[in-house]
Amino acid sequence: MLGSKVVETLSAINGYRVIATGRSEVSFANVEYLRGDLTENEFIYRLCSYATYDVVIHCAAEVNLKKAEDEPQHSKKIHVEATERLAKRLNGAMFIYISTDSVFDGITGGYTESDQVKPLNEYARTKMEGERIVERFAPLHYILRTNIYGFQFPPKESLVEWAYKQLKNGQLIKGFTNVYFNPLYTKQLAELIWLFIEHAPAPGIYHAGSDESLSKYAFLLKVIRVLEFDATLMLPAEADYTGVVLKRPYNTFLNTSKLKQSLFMADTSIDSGIRSLAKDIKTNNL
Ligand SMILES: NC(=O)c1ccc[n+]([C@@H]2O[C@H](COP(=O)([O-])OP(=O)(O)OC[C@H]3O[C@@H](n4cnc5c(N)ncnc54)[C@H](OP(=O)(O)O)[C@@H]3O)[C@@H](O)[C@H]2O)c1
């Protein structure tokens, strides 16, 4: 979801040569694509020897929380070991590691970069370990903790894609009123990554979220209004993560003051992100 927006955004910029990777068989206009598995040594070797990289943008992850929880070795391989190999081999490059707001336990919300992390599940724990690896092995690094929404074709199971499929079929959805976040549209994050590359602020961790904290219900309501769906198709509901094996945080609102001070020109408005999403959906006839 994010990777393809990053490729689309950066390959449109004059003077950028973009080399993308993934396991799927895909192609992008004007972009070299190396197909392979980042958990395999030989592929990392091939990728690293293919070119001299000025910037590495590490978006690859196992975002299926259930799979990440059930297969901890798999999570470790992609989030920790692959990150370590890339960071060690490409340590002369600017290394941008996409992390997650779920490194926090979500009890208070409003987290700054120096707040204590306390991941609740295997996905978040291994993403946090990936952060430590990047800090250790990549001197010029940006660790962007974020939450994102986006759309790809065919739609997968992310929040907006799931809601869109349901609503389009006239089916009811539930929106959680007690789970808070401040997500960015993938295009906003891709443009933000571009700003990091161009402006190179001080290396470190940055919280990359939208300006507003809102519940998933409030967020989906905005999406529903902009996409002109029937708002009565969404019912308010309360998430209950107590007693479940796969723990999730309730409030991962990220304080973005550091980001705004460093890159004040970044578009992190929730409303403009949703409008941009709607425009992309319309343009691509999704
Ligand atoms: N989605 C969210 O809500 C969310 C929230 C917070 C943070 N994040 C972070 O944002 C980043 C992007 O997430 P996303 O939502 O765009 O996820 P996504 O759509 O699942 O994309 C992840 C990509 O990683 C690639 N990948 C996974 N395992 C790989 C492997 N072993 N070798 C090579 N490529 C591999 C996959 O490409 P192929 O399928 O082609 O292999 C896939 O395109 C991740 O780092 C994630 O942790 C996401």
Q: What is the per-residue pLDDT across 228-282, written as a single tens digit (0 to 9) for each?
A: 999 999 999 999 999 899 999 999 999 999 999 999 999 999 999 999 999 999 8
Separation CA 159–CA 120 (nearest Å): 20
For ligand 1, the distance from its centroid to the CA atom of residue 231, given in whole angstroms, is 30
Q: Among the atoms of ligand 1, which is closest to the Cα of residue 24?
A: 40
Is 285 a residue whose pLDDT tops 90? Answer: no
Tokens for 69, please give them: 């929880």
Which residue(s) pair with 34 in the sheet?
21
For ligand 1, the distance from its centroid to the CA atom of residue 232, given in whole angstroms, is 32
Quote the percentage of the chain above a pLDDT of 90: 94
Q: What is the per-residue pLDDT across 22-72, written as a single tens digit (0 to 9) for each?
A: 999 998 888 999 999 999 999 999 999 999 999 999 999 999 999 999 999
Q: Mean pLDDT of all residues in the chain?
A: 96
pTM for the model:
0.97
Q: Which of 26, 73, 148, 188 to mutate to test the pocket of ligand 1 (most atoms within 8 A of CB)?
A: 148
Q: What is the per-residue pLDDT across 156-189, written as a single tens digit (0 to 9) for each?
A: 889 999 999 999 999 999 999 999 999 999 999 9
Residues having CB closer than 6 A to ligand 1 are 1-3, 22-24, 37-39, 59-63, 78, 98, 100, 127, 146-148, 158
Give the closest residue (by CA) to ligand 1 atom 13. 2
